Amino acid sequence: MARKAKINRKTKETNINIEANLDGVGLYKIDTKIGFLNHMLEQLSKHSLIDLKISAKGDTHIDLHHTTEDTGIALGECVKKALGSSKGIKRYGHALIPMDETLTRVTIDVSNRPYLIWKVNLKVEKLGEMDTELFKEWFQAFSQSAGITLHVENIYGDNSHHIIESCYKGLARSLRHAIEVDKRIKNKIPSTKGKL
């Protein structure tokens, strides 16, 4: 059964369309009208092997907050929808991602119990046109709507671009492992509760 989904999230502030194929090869077509966010979502697709099509339009003439947050919400909803019952998934994933002088650890539980731990300090206020405080907003929105417990910790690093990119790559690699189907339990929910 194909693990694919489509989501349209339309509000007075944004209009976002997302298609995801969890069993893809990391192909992407992404246009959020925010250059740096596009770059991060391309990394997410490439390193998770989730095929993504994302089109987002928002009130960027005000600022980038609504588009950034709503893209996180819509992508989380799309991943959750594509997972369906989550039968057979490995559920847990983690990654240590080095990027030059930077090292970041990301750990996830696809548990339907959303929670974000964000231990990331950035030395600059903007990356490209994005306010750096928006990255926590994106990860919060994604974890909430996807139903994922998500711990993101930058262990060390100096360059803010490297730090944030390592966070997205860490999410990608963790997600890739956690949503992979374990053939030994392919028809079972990975929980003693019998439900996630």
| Average confidence score pLDDT of the chain | 96
Q: How does residue 192 score in pLDDT terms, banded at 50, 70 and 90?
A: confident
Q: Is residue 195 part of a domain?
A: no
pLDDT in tens, 81-96: 999 999 999 999 999 9
Q: Is residue 72 part of a domain?
A: yes
d(CA 41, CA 185): 30
- Give how many domains the chain has, as a whole number: 1
- The pLDDT of residue 2 is 86
Q: Is residue 25 part of a domain?
A: yes
d(CA 57, CA 62): 13
Angle CA(152)–CA(28)–CA(138) in degrees, nearest 5?
30
- Domain of residue 145 covers 4-185
Q: Is residue 149 part of a domain?
A: yes
Q: Determine whether 38 is exposed, middle or buried from the number of CB atoms within 10 Å of its CB (0-12, 13-18, 19+).
A: middle
Q: Is residue 11 part of a domain?
A: yes
Q: Is residue 194 part of a domain?
A: no
pLDDT in tens, 22-34: 999 999 999 999 9
